[in-house]
A and B are shown apart, each in its own frame.
Chain A
């Protein structure tokens, strides 16, 4: 797996990257839970990624009830609240890779089908459209040598940078953590508390702007205490 910040050696500068995402239709759409279970087995893994993570870079209302598109559809399209709740609690970072995540999703859906007396259907205009995305990543040229430099800078980063380092990293890196905390670990125990606080931030219910603000606040609070 690719690592965003190099080899995590102490004092390796933090290289700020940015990214932009474009949504692509896969052409697969489903109207009921049975069709959904079948399609889940076949759609490209990029589609699983998109509906869990990529949604954050799309037009998204900032107070979502459910934290992935599958769960939202289970509620809004199928009106199946128990399924929506179960799908919402499938955490992608609990699984080794997207294929394992896909298998877990299929398990949850098939379990629900076994329990149901009838197959939940959505109305014709509430079908689920499987999407995928293309991500363009670019190096901003910005480098930080010491964590203290990030205190004033995080709030200036684009939402694309926040997405890349705080969200995408969880899928991209072996550690399954954000890039900031992985980089800080390279400094030994000096920033243990900061690492802990960053890793305690639940990114699933916030917009990227809110995540940026929360990460910035965590850095500020830590370094103010250190003074």
Chain B
């Protein structure tokens, strides 16, 4: 990853200071002091698409601004590799998967090739963060490592399909620590399991404030009716996000309340199933005039921002969800979120306070009708949602926890660690 100049890194800290507060940034600077100069390497499997890449795009420069030598590498794979790791992903989320020996051997071979390619960086790093199952074998393939290795699982692994988990567990067990987004996702492992929720970046194109004309322009761009209430789900086309359930909810709600639905998603380069799900969604929408199924490019961040801001309600009706960053994104724009009662959505949507948790398309339809009928509640819940995100789900909180973890790991399993005495 290309390094930013010292000046632009300092400017970046100043911008975060303005969005959060001086004390938030000052705290990060002090917490980072004992880690100054440490080599920190993050590894995942894609630079674009999906929440992990999005977080890393911001986390790395922020760490650099705090004096840490942070770096980000991706592992490269072939089609069979991604087929295999998509199988892992589905299996960790509880789906029964049969992954052939051939795919597993290919997975190991690809990791071996990447371990060789990245060998010097892997050996020298003080901290290596391995994101999700794709690069998990790198630790065992780097016997001369010297740093602390942390496996970061972004997936809802609360009820993994056991056969696949048993295979992955062998790769993950020797790590110094692992990180899960929620306590429910943690699995029995012989090392500390830290709990860190992901975050959104308030300065990114996807979340920064937009001028009114840019928000309004999406109505003509996507042939939306500016007079009709708009509900939106932004998500990859993935069955766990239940886009077909969202269409069902729209159909139920629109019988009594005129409205329009936008389903906006892009493909992640490591998700081979997206196209099949997109076809299912198109079939379910059956060409209805007020259902807009959009396939957006990976860099359409400002468009997504505008769509969320133009919406009356944001939906995230997932049936399984690692965290669901789109929930925080919607809430940050002052929108109530109707979310699936699952995983990390529960951490963000406090039922009746920052949105509604639902289990069925009927539930989503009911809450949609209620909010569109009670505009006062819609506004009140939206304002509360924004405040909740400001305090809990911005990237500044996320990086604070990463820094705390790194300081913590270097001090063993002590519960209280005193550092940086003046």
Which chain A residues have a beta carbon within 8 Å of chain B's beta carbons? 18, 20-25, 27, 29, 46, 59-63, 125, 127, 129, 131-141, 156-161, 207, 209
Contact status B194-A138, CB under 8 Å:
no
Q: Which residues of B contact A134 (CB under 8 A)?
A: 404, 408, 413-417
Kindly provide the distance from the CB of B351 to the nearest chain A CB, expressed in whole angstroms. 10
Q: Contact partner of B419 among A127, A137, A141, CB < 8 A?
A: A137
Closest 5 CB pairs of A and B: A141-B422, A129-B183, A59-B392, A138-B420, A158-B23
Contact of A22 with B401 at beta-carbon distance under 8 Å, contacts A59-B392, A131-B195, A156-B23 already known: yes
Q: Chain B residue with minimal CB distance to A129?
A: B183
Asked if B353 CB lies within 8 Å of chain A CBs, one says: yes
Q: Which of A46, A62, A207 has most chain B Cβ within 10 Å?
A: A62
Contact across chains for B194 and A24 when beta carbons are under 8 A apart: yes
Q: Which residue of A lies closest to B412 (CB)?
A: A134
Q: Does B31 contact A (CB under 8 A)?
A: yes
Bound CA–CA A153/B311 (angstroms):
41
Residues of B within 8 A of A209 (CB): 391
Q: Which residue on chain B has the smallest CB distance to residue A127?
A: B184
Chain A residues with Cβ below 8 Å from B188 are 27
Bound CA span A132–B415, Å: 9
Give the contacting residue for B194; candidates A23, A139, A141; CB below 8 A: A23
Q: Which of A127, A133, A139 contacts B422 (CB 8 A)?
A: A139
- A29 and B400 alpha carbons, distance in the complex (Å): 27
Which B residues touch A157, using CB under 8 A? 23
CB distance from B67 to the nearest CB of A (A): 15
Residues in B with CB closer than 8 Å to A62 are: 387-388, 391
Task: Tell me if B27 is interfacial: C-beta within 8 Å of chain A.
Answer: yes
- Is the Cβ of B422 less than 8 Å from the Cβ of A140? yes
* Alpha-carbon separation in the docked complex, A21 to B404 (Å): 7
Measured CB to CB, the nearest residue on chain B to A162 is B23
A158 vs B28: C-alpha distance when bound (angstroms): 10
B30 and A25 contact, CB distance less than 8 A: no
Contacts of B387 in A (CB 8 A): 62
CB within 8 A of A139: which of B22, B180, B400, B421?
Answer: B421
Q: Is there contact, CB below 8 Å, between A22 and B422?
A: no
Q: B193 contacts A138, CB within 8 Å?
A: no
Establish whether residues A22 and B194, one from each chain, have CB atoms under 8 Å apart when the complex forms: yes
Residues of chain B within 8 A of A136, CB atoms compared = 31, 404, 407-408, 417, 419
> B350 near A: Cβ within 8 Å?
yes
In whole angstroms, how far apart are the Cα atoms of A62 and B390 in the complex?
12
